[in-house]
Amino acid sequence: MTEGARIALAVGAALALGFLVMACVTDQPWAAFRALVTGPLPSMERAADGRLVMHRLVRFGAWLQDATTLTLVGLAIAIPFRARQFSLGADGQLFMGALAAAALSLGLGDVPAAIALPLAFLAAAMAGAAWGLAAGLLKTRFEANEIVTTLMLNVVAVQVYRLIVGRVLNDPTAGFITTPPLPGAATLGPLIARTNVTAMVLVAPAAVAAVVFLLRRTTLGYEIDLAGANPWFAARAGVPVARATVLAFALGGAFAGLAGFHVSNALLKRLPVDLTPGMGLEGIVVALLARGRVAALPLAALGYAYLRVGAQAMERATDVPREVVLVIQALIILFVVSDRLAPLALGSLRRVWMRIGRTA
């Protein structure tokens, strides 16, 4: 069975089990399932004058927006993992990237977009890379466990973010603790009306393509892969294992920083003090769904974001809570990481369905 067929089987098995869970909590499981599956998609209707009008663009935009952020955060997890380093620091790197991009945008003021946007983009990438670099240096210089250090760096990053937004960049005229609106020249405009889908939706797959090229066609990519596959052999072969590990952390951090730029300069266009952490942890889910394949990250991000937005649509249209989708997401991960669970689950469902048919 091919990799794609195996993942499709895992998703199908999880959705089937999810439908059974819906049947246990609502009298209208088909309506809830339909809302989950079709919720993120736009609908076409003909207006009175004969024109075709698209509806539900907000949900469609939310799907693409989430997928863009998740793709970049997934890169922050997947690159260190190629060096066999399990980084959990994407949250902190995202916060630092968003803070750097917003602070620079506010500091530049009314400069042309041709200057403001590239500088904010670069500042976000550099801030995220610096936060990832810190974790890499702690790993290679002091042999600190990367899971612990990246989690602690997340805490530091969130508190630094809240301190600077609340004390330094706070807008006293706003009704809540937030930065002033970012200058228009430093923000990205929407590509689709009534959404916040910006050019970042094109940057994310381009970033994935660049990383694939780096890993497959460059010396640094070879060193990162070899350092992860067999550090002892890599060191014997003259590969600078410590440098490759540190750079893997820094590169991953740079893409998490770009996810922060997407949040600050494309989606929110200002930064509230209560920006919710957790997107970095969802990047781990995306990386797991891609099974370590960088090229598969955009598809994994689109699928995961689809479930997120579908859950919101289902919760609004029916009496099924979105926690049911959390069950489906957990089942998808279990089935993807274990090749035997999905066929076993589908076989069990088939036997249950046959028994129900006999009793009916």
pLDDT tens digit string along 80-122?
999 999 999 999 999 999 999 999 999 998 899 999 999 999 9
Q: Which residue has the higher pLDDT, 112 or 321?
A: 112
Q: Which helix (H) or strand (E) holds 287?
A: helix 279-289
C-alpha separations of 345 from 12, 34, 304, 353 in Å: 10, 22, 21, 12
**Residue 67 pLDDT > 90:** yes
**pLDDT averaged over every residue in the chain:** 89
Euclidean distance between CA atoms 44 and 55, whole angstroms: 6
Q: Which of 86-95, 207-216, 252-261, 320-329 is predicted with the least confidence, judged by mean pLDDT? A: 320-329
Residue 54: phi and psi, rounded to 5, are -95, 135
Token pair 């937030």: residue: 178
Start-end of CATH 1.10.3470 domains in the chain: 56-306
Residue 85: phi and psi, rounded to 5, are -120, 125
For the chain, what is the radius of gyration of the CA atoms?
A: 22
**Residue 165 pLDDT > 70:** yes
List beta partners, residue 55.
Answer: 43
Token pair 């350092």: residue: 227
* CA-closest candidate to residue 94, choices 111, 112, 110, 71: 71
Predicted pLDDT of residue 207: 98
Predicted pLDDT of residue 25: 85
Predicted pLDDT of residue 347: 63
Tell me the mean pLDDT in the region 143-165: 96
Entry pTM: 0.91
Euclidean distance between CA atoms 328 and 195, whole angstroms: 27
Tell me the mean pLDDT in the region 178-185: 95
The topology under which CATH files domain 56-306 is ABC transporter involved in vitamin B12 uptake, BtuC (1.10.3470)
* CA-closest candidate to residue 279, choices 67, 101, 70, 88: 70
Q: Which of 31-40, 133-142, 178-187, 341-350 is predicted with the least confidence, judged by mean pLDDT? A: 341-350
Predicted pLDDT of residue 56: 77
**Residue 52 pLDDT > 80:** no
Cα of first residue to Cα of last residue in the chain, in angstroms, is 35
Q: Are 342 and 5 in contact (CB under 8 A)?
A: no
Region of 276 (left: φ > 0; alpha: ψ -120 to 50; beta: rest) is beta
Tell me the mean pLDDT in the region 283-288: 89
* CA-closest candidate to residue 163, choices 278, 89, 271, 280: 271
Tell me the mean pLDDT in the region 342-360: 59
* CA-closest candidate to residue 310, choices 1, 32, 109: 32
**Residue 352 pLDDT > 70:** no
What percent of the chain has a predicted confidence (pLDDT) above 70? 91
Indicate the DSSP class of residue 276. P
